[in-house]
Amino acid sequence: MLSQVMQDAINDQINNEMFSSYSYLSMAAWCEHKQFTGCAHWMRLQSDEERVHAMRLHDFQIARDGRVLFQSIPQPEVDYESIVDVFEKALAQEQLVTQQIDGLYELAIKEKAFAALVELEWFITEQVEEEKTAREIVHKFNMVKDDPASLLDLDNALAQRAPEQADAN
Protein backbone atom coordinates (compact mmCIF):
# COMPACT_ATOMS: atom_id res chain seq x y z
CA MET A 1 0.00 0.00 0.00
CA LEU A 2 1.30 3.40 -0.95
CA SER A 3 1.31 6.32 1.48
CA GLN A 4 -1.18 9.10 0.79
CA VAL A 5 1.58 11.52 -0.17
CA MET A 6 2.94 8.97 -2.65
CA GLN A 7 -0.52 8.30 -4.10
CA ASP A 8 -1.10 12.04 -4.54
CA ALA A 9 2.25 12.46 -6.27
CA ILE A 10 1.51 9.59 -8.66
CA ASN A 11 -1.88 11.13 -9.49
CA ASP A 12 -0.11 14.43 -10.18
CA GLN A 13 2.29 12.66 -12.54
CA ILE A 14 -0.61 10.91 -14.31
CA ASN A 15 -1.93 14.42 -14.93
CA ASN A 16 1.48 15.65 -16.09
CA GLU A 17 1.71 12.81 -18.62
CA MET A 18 -1.84 13.50 -19.85
CA PHE A 19 -0.95 17.17 -20.22
CA SER A 20 2.13 16.14 -22.15
CA SER A 21 -0.05 13.97 -24.41
CA TYR A 22 -2.45 16.88 -24.92
CA SER A 23 0.42 19.28 -25.70
CA TYR A 24 1.80 16.97 -28.36
CA LEU A 25 -1.66 16.70 -29.87
CA SER A 26 -1.79 20.51 -30.01
CA MET A 27 1.62 20.55 -31.69
CA ALA A 28 0.35 17.91 -34.16
CA ALA A 29 -2.67 20.09 -35.01
CA TRP A 30 -0.41 23.11 -35.61
CA CYS A 31 1.93 21.07 -37.83
CA GLU A 32 -1.02 19.70 -39.78
CA HIS A 33 -2.35 23.23 -40.28
CA LYS A 34 1.05 24.33 -41.62
CA GLN A 35 1.21 21.31 -43.98
CA PHE A 36 4.08 19.66 -42.09
CA THR A 37 2.26 16.34 -42.27
CA GLY A 38 5.32 14.24 -41.37
CA CYS A 39 5.90 16.32 -38.24
CA ALA A 40 2.20 16.03 -37.40
CA HIS A 41 2.42 12.25 -37.70
CA TRP A 42 5.49 12.21 -35.41
CA MET A 43 3.69 14.40 -32.84
CA ARG A 44 0.57 12.25 -32.86
CA LEU A 45 2.61 9.14 -32.10
CA GLN A 46 4.41 11.05 -29.36
CA SER A 47 1.03 12.02 -27.93
CA ASP A 48 -0.03 8.36 -27.94
CA GLU A 49 3.17 7.43 -26.10
CA GLU A 50 2.51 9.98 -23.38
CA ARG A 51 -0.93 8.53 -22.82
CA VAL A 52 0.70 5.11 -22.44
CA HIS A 53 3.01 6.65 -19.80
CA ALA A 54 -0.02 7.98 -17.92
CA MET A 55 -1.67 4.56 -18.08
CA ARG A 56 1.49 2.88 -16.87
CA LEU A 57 1.35 4.98 -13.68
CA HIS A 58 -2.41 4.47 -13.51
CA ASP A 59 -1.98 0.68 -13.56
CA PHE A 60 0.82 0.85 -11.00
CA GLN A 61 -1.31 2.95 -8.65
CA ILE A 62 -4.11 0.38 -8.84
CA ALA A 63 -1.73 -2.58 -8.46
CA ARG A 64 -0.45 -1.00 -5.21
CA ASP A 65 -4.02 -0.60 -3.95
CA GLY A 66 -3.92 3.17 -4.42
CA ARG A 67 -6.69 5.31 -5.83
CA VAL A 68 -6.49 6.90 -9.24
CA LEU A 69 -8.01 10.39 -9.04
CA PHE A 70 -8.07 12.30 -12.31
CA GLN A 71 -7.53 16.04 -12.38
CA SER A 72 -8.33 18.71 -14.98
CA ILE A 73 -5.89 18.85 -17.86
CA PRO A 74 -4.71 22.43 -18.49
CA GLN A 75 -5.03 23.98 -21.94
CA PRO A 76 -1.86 23.40 -23.94
CA GLU A 77 -0.09 26.04 -25.98
CA VAL A 78 -1.91 26.36 -29.30
CA ASP A 79 0.26 28.75 -31.29
CA TYR A 80 3.87 28.39 -32.36
CA GLU A 81 6.27 30.73 -34.12
CA SER A 82 7.81 28.21 -36.46
CA ILE A 83 8.41 24.51 -36.93
CA VAL A 84 11.68 24.71 -34.97
CA ASP A 85 9.78 26.47 -32.18
CA VAL A 86 7.43 23.47 -31.97
CA PHE A 87 10.32 21.06 -31.43
CA GLU A 88 12.10 23.43 -29.03
CA LYS A 89 8.91 23.48 -26.95
CA ALA A 90 8.79 19.67 -27.16
CA LEU A 91 12.36 19.47 -25.84
CA ALA A 92 11.58 21.92 -23.02
CA GLN A 93 8.55 19.83 -22.11
CA GLU A 94 10.63 16.66 -21.92
CA GLN A 95 13.19 18.44 -19.73
CA LEU A 96 10.34 19.44 -17.42
CA VAL A 97 8.99 15.89 -17.29
CA THR A 98 12.50 14.66 -16.40
CA GLN A 99 12.48 17.02 -13.41
CA GLN A 100 9.01 15.79 -12.41
CA ILE A 101 10.11 12.14 -12.58
CA ASP A 102 13.28 12.90 -10.62
CA GLY A 103 11.15 14.60 -7.96
CA LEU A 104 8.83 11.61 -7.78
CA TYR A 105 11.82 9.28 -7.44
CA GLU A 106 13.23 11.40 -4.63
CA LEU A 107 9.87 11.27 -2.86
CA ALA A 108 9.71 7.48 -3.28
CA ILE A 109 13.11 7.21 -1.54
CA LYS A 110 11.86 9.40 1.30
CA GLU A 111 8.63 7.38 1.60
CA LYS A 112 10.51 4.05 1.32
CA ALA A 113 8.21 3.13 -1.57
CA PHE A 114 10.51 0.44 -2.98
CA ALA A 115 8.15 -0.89 -5.65
CA ALA A 116 7.65 2.68 -6.88
CA LEU A 117 11.44 3.11 -7.15
CA VAL A 118 11.63 0.08 -9.45
CA GLU A 119 8.68 1.32 -11.53
CA LEU A 120 10.15 4.81 -11.82
CA GLU A 121 13.48 3.51 -13.06
CA TRP A 122 11.75 2.74 -16.36
CA PHE A 123 10.65 6.39 -16.57
CA ILE A 124 14.13 7.69 -15.77
CA THR A 125 15.59 5.65 -18.64
CA GLU A 126 12.76 6.72 -20.94
CA GLN A 127 13.42 10.42 -20.23
CA VAL A 128 17.06 10.08 -21.30
CA GLU A 129 15.80 8.79 -24.66
CA GLU A 130 13.00 11.37 -24.97
CA GLU A 131 15.35 14.30 -24.41
CA LYS A 132 17.97 12.89 -26.76
CA THR A 133 15.45 12.38 -29.59
CA ALA A 134 13.92 15.86 -29.22
CA ARG A 135 17.39 17.49 -29.04
CA GLU A 136 18.48 15.75 -32.25
CA ILE A 137 15.39 16.93 -34.14
CA VAL A 138 15.82 20.53 -32.89
CA HIS A 139 19.43 20.40 -34.08
CA LYS A 140 18.37 19.20 -37.54
CA PHE A 141 15.74 21.93 -37.94
CA ASN A 142 18.30 24.54 -36.87
CA MET A 143 20.71 23.18 -39.48
CA VAL A 144 18.28 23.30 -42.43
CA LYS A 145 16.79 26.70 -41.41
CA ASP A 146 14.44 27.89 -44.18
CA ASP A 147 15.73 25.73 -47.01
CA PRO A 148 12.49 24.34 -48.55
CA ALA A 149 14.00 21.17 -50.03
CA SER A 150 15.71 20.24 -46.75
CA LEU A 151 12.56 21.03 -44.76
CA LEU A 152 10.58 18.69 -47.03
CA ASP A 153 13.21 15.96 -46.56
CA LEU A 154 13.11 16.36 -42.80
CA ASP A 155 9.31 16.31 -42.77
CA ASN A 156 9.42 13.12 -44.85
CA ALA A 157 11.95 11.55 -42.47
CA LEU A 158 9.69 12.27 -39.49
CA ALA A 159 6.76 10.73 -41.39
CA GLN A 160 8.61 7.40 -41.18
CA ARG A 161 8.23 7.10 -37.41
CA ALA A 162 6.52 3.81 -36.50
CA PRO A 163 4.37 3.21 -33.44
CA GLU A 164 6.20 1.64 -30.50
CA GLN A 165 5.62 -2.06 -29.79
CA ALA A 166 3.22 -2.51 -26.91
CA ASP A 167 5.68 -4.67 -24.93
CA ALA A 168 8.43 -2.06 -25.39
CA ASN A 169 6.40 0.19 -23.11
Identify which of residues 53 and 58 has a Cβ nearer to Mg ion in the complex.
Answer: 53
Stretch that binds Mg ion, among 48-56, 79-87, 145-153, 160-168 (CB under 5 A): 48-56
**Identified binder of Mg ion from the candidate list 41, 44, 53, 89, rule CB under 5 A:** 53
Chain positions 109 to 128 lying near Mg ion, rule: CB under 5 A, are none
Identify which of residues 54 and 151 has a Cβ nearer to Mg ion in the complex.
Answer: 54
Identify which of residues 7 and 13 has a Cβ nearer to Mg ion in the complex.
Answer: 13
Stretch that binds Mg ion, among 25-33, 50-58, 98-106, 151-159 (CB under 5 A): 50-58
Q: What is the chain written as a DSSP string?
A: ---HHHHHHHHHHHHHHHHHHHHHHHHHHHHHHTT-HHHHHHHHHHHHHHHHHHHHHHHHHHHTT------PPPPPP---SSHHHHHHHHHHHHHHHHHHHHHHHHHHHHTT-HHHHHHHHHHHHHHHHHHHHHHHHHHHHHHHTT-HHHHHHHHHHHHT--PPPGGG-
Q: Indicate whether 58 belongs to the interface with Mg ion (CB under 5 A).
A: no
Identify which of residues 49 and 88 has a Cβ nearer to Mg ion in the complex.
Answer: 49
Stretch that binds Mg ion, among 5-13, 47-55, 66-74, 142-150 (CB under 5 A): 47-55
